[in-house]
A and B are shown apart, each in its own frame.
Chain A
Amino acid sequence: MKKFNRVVTVLIFLFLYAPMLVLLIASFNVGKDITEFEGFTLMRYVEVFQDRSMLTMLGNSILVSVLASAIATVFGTFSAVGIYNLKPRMRKAVMSLTNIPMTNPDIVTGISLSLLFVFVGSKLLGQKESLTFWTLLIAHITFNLPYVILNVMPKLQQMNPALTDAAMDLGCTPLQSFFKVTLYEIMPGIISGAIMAFTMSLDDFVISYFVTGLDFITLPVEIYNYTKKQLEPKLYAMFIMMFLLILVLMIVMNLLQVRQDKQKKRREGR
C-alpha cells in the first residue's frame, strides 16, 4: 500500500512540475516555439531586462503587492486583536464576513468590485475613467486582509492570555503590553500572513484583470494580453525568475517555521 502511494506521489509531482519543466526549457530556447528546442541561449533572460514595458509591469506588480500586503498586514493585525476581544457572537459574525472573499469565486469578487468602482466613479462622481491604481490597490487590500486575519487569529488564540495580564501587572498600559508582549507572540502569524498576502497579490490575475484601468497594468494582466497574441519567449524567462523568487520566499517561510517548532519543542520538553 505504501509502495503504491509512493508511486502515485512521484507521478503526481511529475504531473505538477511537467509544465514548469517545459517553461524552463523554453526559457533557454533559441527558437520561439515552445514545442521545438532549437538551441541553448540566455538571450531571453537578457531580453527581460531590456524590455522597458515589461519591467514597468513587473515594477507595477511589485509596487501593488508590497503596498497592499503591507497595509493589509498592519491593518489586519490590529483588526485581528480587536476581533479576538469581541463577544463570541459578534466575533463569529465578523469571521463569516472575513470568509466571504475566501469562498466567493475570484471572478465574482473581481466583477463586484469593478462594478462598485464604476458605479461610484462614473455615476456618483462623474469620473471618466474610474478604474485606477487606487481601485486596484483597494481590491488587493480587500482580498489580502482575510489571509492576514486568518493567520494572526490562531496565534492570538494560542497565546497565553495571562501574558498580557502579567505585562499590565508589571506596569504596562494596554498599548505598551501589545507592543512589548503580544506582538512577539503573534509575530510568526503576522509574518506568514504577510508573505501569503504578498504572493497572492503578486500572482493575482483574475481580480486585477477586472479592477485595473488602462493606466496601471500589472504583470499577470499583461501576460494575459500577451497570451492572446504570439507569445514572447522572454515571458518564460520572466516566469522562471518569478519561480525562483517565490521559491526563496517559501524557503524563508519554512526556516521560520522550523525555528518556531524547535522553540516550541524545547519549551514543552524541558
Chain B
Amino acid sequence: MKRNKSLLLSTPYILWMVIFTLVPLGVVLYYALTDVETGAFTVDNMSKLVRYLPAFGRSILYSLISAVICLLIGYPVAYYMTQCSPTTQRFLYMLVMLPMCMSFLLRTLAWVGLLQDTGIINNILEAIGLPRLPLIRTPAAVILGMVYNYLPYMILPLYAIIVKIDPRLIEAAEDLGCNSTKVFSKVILPLSMPGILSGMTMVFVPAVSTFYISNKLGSTETVLIGDIVERLFKQGDNPNMGAALSLLLMVLVFVCTGIINRFGGDEEGAVIV
C-alpha cells in the first residue's frame, strides 16, 4: 500500500529527470555522431577531437593547479573557521558563501580592472615607485581567476567535514602522546579526507569547463576547452563538433570524479552548497 503511493509520488520526478538529464545526454551523443551539414552518421567529429587536445590538456592542467592552490589556501581558512565561536562560524560561513551567489561575470570583470596594464594594481605599483608588471593575459591570471571563483567550493565542504570531527578524538590523541603537529597529521588530516576530496571535485569540475575566465583574463595562448565549446555553439555554428567536445568533457569529468570518489568512496563527502 505504502510502496504504491511512494511510487506515485516519485514517478513524475523520475520521469522529469530522465527526460531532462538523461535524454539530453543522448541527444548530445546523437549530434556528436552526425554531420553538421547533412545530418548523416559520421565519426568525423570524433576524429577531429585530436585537434583540440592541447586545449584539453591546458584546461586539465590549469584546473588541477587551481584545485591544489584552493586546497592549500582554503584548508587553513576552513580550519580556522571551526575554531571560532558558533556565531562567528555562521557569519564567516555566510561570508564565504555570499560571493558564490553573485554574478561571476562582473566579479571576473573587476579582476580585469585590478590586473590590467593600466589597472588598479599597476597604478598602485607605479605610485609607490615600482615598475608596472604584465599581470593580465598570462596563465597565472587565468589560474587566479579560477582560484578566486571556485575557492568557496573548496572551503565550504572542508569546513563541513572538519567541524564534525569529535574534539574528544583530538584530546584522545594528545592523551596518547601526540604533539600538535602529530595530532594534525595523524588525526585531523585523515579525518578531513572526505572534505578534501569533495572540495577538489567541486573546484575541478567547474574550473575545467569554464568559458569566461580565460576569455577575459587570458590570451589566445590560454584558450580553454570551455571557450572553444562556447564558440562552436554560439558563433561557429558547428554544434555537432561542440557536442562531440562536450561529450569528451563530460567523460573527462566523470572519470576524474570517479577516480576521486574511489579514493574516498564516501557519499557523505558530497556536500551541497
- A residues contacting B by CB (< 8 A) are 1-2, 4-6, 8-9, 12-13, 15-20, 22-23, 26, 34-35, 75-76, 78-79, 81-87, 94, 97-109, 111-116, 118-119, 138-139, 141-142, 145, 147, 149-151, 174, 199-200, 202-203, 205-206, 210, 220, 223-224, 227, 231, 235-236, 239, 242-243, 246-247, 250-251, 254, 257-258
Whether A111 pairs with B77 at a CB distance below 8 angstroms is: no
Interface SS, B side: helix
How far does the Cβ of B86 sit from chain A's closest Cβ, in whole Å?
Answer: 8
Tally chain B residues at the interface, Cβ within 8 Å.
87
Query: Can you list 23 pairs linking A and B with CB atoms under 8 Å apart?
Result: A8-B76, A15-B148, A19-B148, A26-B110, A34-B113, A35-B116, A82-B6, A85-B2, A94-B14, A97-B18, A99-B270, A105-B208, A105-B250, A112-B28, A115-B24, A115-B28, A115-B239, A115-B243, A116-B23, A119-B31, A199-B101, A205-B103, A224-B105
Sort A-B residue pairs by CB-CB distance and give the 9 closest, nearest first.
A82-B9, A82-B10, A105-B209, A85-B6, A19-B110, A79-B13, A112-B24, A34-B113, A5-B80
**A111-B242, A119-B31 given. 18 additional CB < 8 A pairs?**
A16-B148, A23-B106, A26-B110, A83-B6, A86-B7, A94-B10, A103-B253, A108-B246, A108-B253, A111-B246, A174-B5, A203-B103, A220-B103, A227-B106, A231-B109, A235-B106, A247-B98, A250-B101
Q: Say how far B83's CB is from chain A's closest CB, in angstroms.
A: 7
Residues in chain A near residue B270, CB distance under 8 A:
99, 102
- Known contacts A23-B107, A147-B272, A250 near B97 by CB under 8 Å: yes
B79 to chain A: closest CB distance in Å?
Answer: 6
Chain A CB within 10 Å, residue with most, of B5, B7, B27, B123: B27
Q: Are B80 and A145 in contact (CB under 8 A)?
A: no
* Residues of chain B lying within 8 A (CB to CB) of residue A246: 98, 101-102
Q: Which of B3, B79, B253 contacts A87 (CB 8 A)?
A: B3
- Select the residue from B74, B103, B108, B233 with max chain A CB neighbours within 10 A: B103
Residue among B21, B99, B206 facing the most chain A CB atoms (10 A cut-off): B21
A155 CB to nearest B CB, Å: 13
- With the chains together, A105 CA to B110 CA distance in Å? 24
Decide yes or no whether B42 CB sits under 8 A from chain A.
Answer: no
A57 → chain B closest CB, angstroms = 12
Residue in B83, B102, B108 whose Cβ sees the most chain A Cβ within 10 Å: B102
- Determine how close the nearest CB of chain B comes to the CB of A64; give it in whole angstroms: 15
Q: Which residue of A lies closest to B112 (CB)?
A: A34
- Majority SS of interface residues in chain A? helix
**A75 and B110 contact, CB distance less than 8 A:** no
B94 interfacial by beta-carbon distance below 8 Å:
yes
Bound Cα distance A250, B253 (Å): 31
Partner of A18, one of B95, B106, B114, B152: B114
Q: Is B90 an interface residue (CB 8 A)?
A: yes
Q: Which residues of B are found within 8 Å of A101, using beta-carbon distances? A: 21
Q: Is B189 interfacial (CB 8 A cutoff)?
A: no
Say which residue of B104, B111, B206 sits within 8 Å of A105 (CB atoms): B206
Determine the distance from Cα of A86 to Cα of B8 in the docked complex, in whole angstroms.
Answer: 10
| B12 interfacial by beta-carbon distance below 8 Å | yes
